[in-house]
Amino acid sequence: MSRRIFLALQQLLGPSHVQNSEEAAPYLTDKQGRYVGQVIAAVHPANTEEVAAVVRMCVATDTPVVVQGGNTGLMGGATPDASGRAVLLLLDRMNRVRTVDIDNDTLTVEAGCILQTVQDVARDAGRLFPLSLGAEGSCTIGGNLGTNAGGTAVLRYGNTRELTLGLEVVTAEGEIWNGLRGLRKDNTGYDLRDLFIGSEGTLGIITAATLKLFPLPKARATALLAFDSLAQAVQLLSHVRAGFGASLTAFELLSADCLSLLREQFPQGPQPFLGAGQPWFALLELSDNHSESHARQTFEEVLGEAFERELLANAWIAESLVQSEALWLLRENMSEAQKRAGRNMKHDISVPTSQVVAFVAHTDALLQAHFPGVRHFTFGHLGDGNLHYNVAHPLGSTVEAHMADYAALSLLVHDSAHAHGGSISAEHGIGQRKRDILERYKSPVELDLMRRIKQALDPKNLLNPGKVLEVLAS
Amino acid sequence: MSRRIFLALQQLLGPSHVQNSEEAAPYLTDKQGRYVGQVIAAVHPANTEEVAAVVRMCVATDTPVVVQGGNTGLMGGATPDASGRAVLLLLDRMNRVRTVDIDNDTLTVEAGCILQTVQDVARDAGRLFPLSLGAEGSCTIGGNLGTNAGGTAVLRYGNTRELTLGLEVVTAEGEIWNGLRGLRKDNTGYDLRDLFIGSEGTLGIITAATLKLFPLPKARATALLAFDSLAQAVQLLSHVRAGFGASLTAFELLSADCLSLLREQFPQGPQPFLGAGQPWFALLELSDNHSESHARQTFEEVLGEAFERELLANAWIAESLVQSEALWLLRENMSEAQKRAGRNMKHDISVPTSQVVAFVAHTDALLQAHFPGVRHFTFGHLGDGNLHYNVAHPLGSTVEAHMADYAALSLLVHDSAHAHGGSISAEHGIGQRKRDILERYKSPVELDLMRRIKQALDPKNLLNPGKVLEVLAS
């Protein structure tokens, strides 16, 4: 049967666009190396019609279909299971920019476009596509849509969902829904768009999208701020929200331990506030539509007022683009610094901004009580209440001993986030990694609504089965 | 049976909170007087548990449930049918503000809150809740959520959907989904929130919501601009988008004929550009986080540049709050001015901004060819591509003769909007009025997806039946 499907796919797409498991090996292990899958075939369709034809063939043979973008996800959401029953859809050939509509401030791109390409095309048209995240050089817009990716510009521009006006989707029956509308207002029926976005390929295959563009800021101002407490950082956030309004484009938190780690791992990098003694820091960015001098003036005015009101302990304002980039490098190097220091436990949680202080105090104390000596590397998008609450092994212990406690420790962190009104996955999604713990935090009513929708749109459970939700055989 | 249900509802809610059709008469006719319904009872539950209990009773007796907010909708979406089989849910007693969370910039309100109350509570807390529309003094936030209401601030802040973080919903089974999250990032499963928003009470009953708040602007600047052509107005929109960025908070179009109509019907009102001869005008507003003088300076700088580049013919800049309010009054009086001049045909369409000029030219010409002499009163939210494309009877003819052509004329307008990549309902929804024509403009694939979702969430078709979609008996 598998052989027959393989040959039929070759006939459909041409032999050079269909690979076996061996040839497709790079796509069958997730980025973290946690999951390894097998497939009947990995296919590279050229266009939406070919995607639809592949899905129809899979439906006819009860073959699961897994779609994958740049394979940069952290939850194993795009890795097929080990059964070898699935077909893996790769949309790398579908990477055209279909249209750029300057007067409407939109562009329409195919799902296989690399995020950075979308940013570049927008910039070449004199516009900003604001979605920005670590993997932007290799992740695809289809993957961003499938997971409703976040990143560093959410504070001002929203998640991928808020940046999207229209979609083209291949349904679980292999039909094509053309919902590529470039409209900012359209109240004609149910919001299918937002249902497909973030559904991680379990409700339909997103093949193209119409995205919002924004004016390119004329100038930016960046600073690294030091705080005497996390509470002070939250107060300053409120202050700059009011003072900068929509010009506030980043508020990225870093703990003092994060800065020390960066110093250790990147001794050639910038060394701001060396030995300053404050426990918390934040990277602040303002984007301005007027001019450099206007940006600078606003920045200094609002920060000056903050100093007077004792809303921060210190500020290092970038005097040049080079200095600004050096500050951003701190934030961007956090992933790599952690990797170099040895594996740690990552938690992508969010809580209401008003709960951040209580969450961190409570969770830190709880972990110290249960796992004495663990080290906290807490950073993230404070402006969105999204913390990367990461926990490393105690000095004097080993990474391996620490990682053995992963399930127990994560349970405490996730329970605490939930108890503070938060989410166990702010921007990384569910995939296969958080699928089972989701049951703990969602009410039976919500899980039931989700299952009904899955059943309605994918009654044979062929689209990325085993991800997001466990579906009971019907 | 109806009598038994009536008595059971009285027992459940108390006799004073259950009305018969006669007592409930004001709720049984829609605002435009187009639809008149009958009910078993109109009920006023005190809280979410009572709403759930009413729905459960209705499910047990196969009784349809229609929810209504301030009865200000234009599509008959909240008016029960004439069969007298339904129970009408009125949430006027559920009008509490549950929480205001300043540090998180959110508030949680019950569905029965009047929109203006929500705005006021936000302002008292030093924040802005930006949703703003003509009916704000009587419409409810529940109605706004049910229809994904738009209004004049969409350009900057988005529709109701974009202003909402969490919902509480009573499902079609009478269960309560507590999704009242105050999170700006939460990627844990399917986006139920956005599915319920805009579903016009056909998928669930929204009983409360957690809404986003924004900083209150420190200053505003307003101007009425005159253009030599509609194309020039679209160009200016692009120019101020880039120049003002997120400070651009309104761009409301008015044709010269609209200004003349306002002059006729409100001779005591302001008379800007009397006899100036330009065919198009726009109300422009900038909101500023700094100060009056800063707002003024930005405004004059960007408009000065626009004059140099010949992107507008003339500008009347408000010199005071009184003048600014006078300009806004022009826009706000448009509804009443049309009403005084006699009924006309209203079309709430949207097209991509880049298609506005072509749409208006094409549709105006088409209507003149088929219905010579009809008069166009075109205005609306140009910044969102949303036009109120309204058409009045030819001078010398009668309103009655004109209205007899409603179906034929509207078909041309809607076909044209659709052909220009647009929507036949930008912000008013579908209700019962546009239900059947929706079938003409949505693809079979999209209608099928919508029906599957309706079937999955409301399998007995008891929630607001006959609205949005025709559901075939299963």
pLDDT digit string, tens, across residues A41-85: 999 999 999 999 999 999 999 999 999 999 999 999 999 999 999
Mean pLDDT of A26-54: 97
Domain with CATH 3.30.465.10 in chain A: 97-215
pLDDT surpassing 80 at residue B139: yes
ipTM above 0.95, yes or no: yes
Here the tokens at position B71 are 């009865």
Chain A CB contacts of B159 below 8 Å: 185, 187
**A2-90 maps to CATH 3.30.43.10:** yes
Judge whether A171 and A134 are in contact, CB under 8 Å.
no
Tokens 């990995």 correspond to what residue? A42
Distance from CA of B20 to the nearest CA of A (A): 31
- Tell me the β-bridge partners of A19: A42
Report the greatest alpha carbon distance in chain B.
Answer: 74
Using one digit for the tens of pLDDT, what is the confidence trace for B286-340? Answer: 999 888 999 999 999 999 999 999 999 999 999 998 999 999 999 989 999 999 9
Domain B97-215 sits in CATH at: 3.30.465.10
Cross-chain residue pair B188–A442, CB shorter than 8 Å: yes
Average pLDDT, chain A: 95
Judge whether B281 and B261 are in contact, CB under 8 Å.
no
**C-alpha to C-alpha distance for A246 and B380, rounded to whole angstroms:** 25
For A455, the closest of B182, B350, B456 (CB atoms) is B456
Q: What is the pLDDT of residue A248?
A: 95
Q: What is the pLDDT of residue A420?
A: 98
Q: Outline where DSSP puts E strands in A261-406.
A: 280-288, 314-317, 348-350, 375-381, 386-392
pLDDT surpassing 60 at residue A25: yes
Q: What is the pLDDT of residue B384?
A: 93
Cross-chain residue pair A446–B189, CB shorter than 8 Å: yes
Judge whether A133 and A108 are in contact, CB under 8 Å.
no
Name the percent of chain B lying above pLDDT 70.
99
Q: Could you tell me whether strands A386-392 and A348-350 are parallel, antiparallel, or unpaired per DSSP bridges?
A: antiparallel
Cross-chain residue pair A187–B198, CB shorter than 8 Å: yes
Closest CA to A202 of A472, A474, A32, A450: A450
pLDDT surpassing 90 at residue A473: no
For A104, the closest of B101, B245, B352 (CB atoms) is B352
CATH of B342-419, one of 3.30.70.2740, 3.30.70.1250, 3.30.2130.10, 3.90.1150.10: 3.30.70.2740
Q: What is the pLDDT of residue A95?
A: 98
Cross-chain residue pair B183–A425, CB shorter than 8 Å: no
For B245, the closest of A215, A234, A434 (CB atoms) is A215
**Residue to substitute from A48, A187, A447, interface B, most B β-carbons within 10 A:** A187
Using one digit for the tens of pLDDT, what is the confidence trace for A448-467? Answer: 999 999 999 999 999 999 99
Distance from CA of B319 to the nearest CA of A (A): 23
Mean pLDDT of A115-142: 97
What's the N-to-C CA distance of chain A in angstroms?
23
Domain with CATH 3.30.70.2190 in chain A: 219-336
Cross-chain residue pair B423–A352, CB shorter than 8 Å: no
Residue A322 DSSP SS3: helix
Domain B219-336 sits in CATH at: 3.30.70.2190
DSSP string, A75-110: SSTT---TTS--EEEE-TT---EEEEETTTTEEEEE
Confidence of residue A204 (pLDDT cuts 50, 70, 90): very high
**C-alpha to C-alpha distance for A42 and B188, rounded to whole angstroms:** 28
Helices A356-370 and A230-244 sit at what angle, rounded to 10 degrees? 160
Closest CA to B299 of B353, B250, B254: B250
**Residue to substitute from B442, B449, B471, interface A, most A β-carbons within 10 A:** B449
Q: What angle do CA A277, A283, A288 make, to 5 degrees?
A: 145
More confident position, B290 or A178:
A178
**C-alpha to C-alpha distance for A229 and A251, rounded to whole angstroms:** 16
Judge whether A33 and A24 are in contact, CB under 8 Å.
no
**C-alpha to C-alpha distance for B202 and B180, rounded to whole angstroms:** 20
Residue B222 DSSP SS3: strand
Task: Give Rg (Cα) of chain A.
Answer: 23
**Residue to substitute from B187, B205, B234, B388, interface A, most A β-carbons within 10 A:** B187
Cross-chain residue pair B191–A422, CB shorter than 8 Å: no
Q: What is the pLDDT of residue B290?
A: 85
Using one digit for the tens of pLDDT, what is the confidence trace for B19-38? Answer: 999 999 999 999 989 999 99
Half-sphere exposure of A353 (CA within 13 A, CB side): 26
Here the tokens at position B344 are 């006309």
Mean pLDDT of A162-191: 98
Judge whether A247 and A219 are in contact, CB under 8 Å.
no
Cross-chain residue pair B246–A243, CB shorter than 8 Å: no
pLDDT surpassing 80 at residue B101: yes
Q: What is the pLDDT of residue B275?
A: 66
Q: What is the pLDDT of residue B399?
A: 92
Domain with CATH 3.30.70.2740 in chain A: 342-419
Q: How far is CA B225 from the centre of its chain?
A: 25
Distance from CA of A12 to the nearest CA of B (A): 23
**C-alpha to C-alpha distance for B15 and B270, rounded to whole angstroms:** 51
Name the percent of chain B lying above pLDDT 90.
92
Cβ-count burial A415-443 (b if 16+ within 10 Å, e if not): bbbbebbbbbbbbbbbbbbbbebbeebbe
